[in-house]
Amino acid sequence: MSWSQETISRVWEKGKRVYGENPGRFRKDACGAWIAGAHYGNRQSEFGWTIVRLNLRGGDGLENLIPMQWQNGVDGDGAPVASVIAERSHNVTRSLSPLVA
């Protein structure tokens, strides 16, 4: 999907602000992963992000769109699904291995 610059900017504004960070440069997605405003659509960047629909049938209205680190997404109920999370100032792949008793 090709989004207008206005939609990209408005969805970026929905990212979580982080105390001490310039909200025009860095924010966090719904999974807590870092995203960088200038890295929209960049799947080579750990801070790259994309626009995700909370509800696949919910349309393209702003209320249904959120910014997500490009490896993260949402499940069928619109709940965030984290493949990548923040660890200090970087993103790391979330370990999905089972706990060993």
pTM of the complete model: 0.90
For residue range 34-57, what is the model confidence (pLDDT) as tens digits? 999 999 999 999 999 999 999 988
Identify the H or E element spanning 6. Answer: helix 5-12
- Residue 55 resides in a domain: yes
Distances (CA, A) of 52 to 1, 14, 18, 69, 78: 10, 12, 20, 10, 10
- Residue 101 resides in a domain: no
- Residue 61 resides in a domain: yes
For residue range 62-79, what is the model confidence (pLDDT) as tens digits? 999 999 999 999 998 999
State which residues form the domain around 49. Answer: 5-93
- Give the total number of structural domains in the chain: 1
- Residue 99 resides in a domain: no
